Amino acid sequence: MEKSYSAHETAVIDEGCTIGKGTKIWHFSHIMPQCIIGENCNIGQNVVISPQVVLGNNVKVQNNVSIYTGVICEDDVFLGPSMVFTNVTNPRSAVNRRNQYAKTTVKKGATIGANATIVCGHDIGEFAFIGAGAVITKNVPAYALVVGNPAKQIGWMSEYGHRLHFDSNGRAVCEESKEQYQLKDGVVSKIS
């Protein structure tokens, strides 16, 4: 049976993975057992995807990213160069904590910038935008813009990746898509 994805000859793909149609895996990447990778994903070079990781459709993983067991990325997630997830809150070399991996979910459409670190057990909301180098130590709400170490929320982003500026009625319009958003009680939603 011919595979429906493409992988560079230097990529290592362990048995027991599911890789969707149209996905591309680049140089020196390692896809470990029981991973599920959706359709039309792009896995950059020198990426490690640990056992049982789940990536949805159209996930973009840039170079030098490590995605550890316990991570789920929904559709349309962007993982910037050299960002990293953790999966144990108190790692010690001499203590085996493989049965203590914490779960992290990155919701649909979220962006995580270059060199950011996601401390395990903290979920990233839909269309959230994590700035380059940020260190995430708590859950990030949908559409939130967070930066720094530790990361702090400084605003809100549209689904097209533009900063939202809300008026006195709690309404904002994305400058590119012209889609409208509502901010109410600290929660952003797109107006249909």
User: How far is the CA of 45 from the CAs of 35, 59, 116, in angstroms?
Assistant: 17, 14, 18
pLDDT, one tens digit per residue, over 23-59 is 999 999 999 999 999 999 999 999 999 999 999 999 9
What is the band of 3 on the pLDDT scale with cuts at 50, 70, 90? confident
State both tokens at 166: 């809300």
Domains annotated for the chain, with CATH where assigned, are: 1-89+100-157 (2.160.10.10), 165-192 (no CATH)
Confidence of residue 124 (pLDDT cuts 50, 70, 90): very high
Are 85 and 68 spatial neighbours (Cβ–Cβ below 8 Å)?
yes
Percent of residues, the chain, with pLDDT higher than 70: 99
With residue 55 as reference, give the H or E element that holds it. strand 54-55
Q: Indicate the residue type of 96.
A: N
pLDDT-derived band at 2, boundaries 50, 70, 90: low
Comparing C-alpha atoms, which of 99, 68, 73 is closest to residue 85?
68
Other Cβ atoms within 10 Å of 166 Cβ, number: 16
Output the 3-class SS for 89-120.
CCCECCECCHHHCCCEEECCCCEECCCCEECC
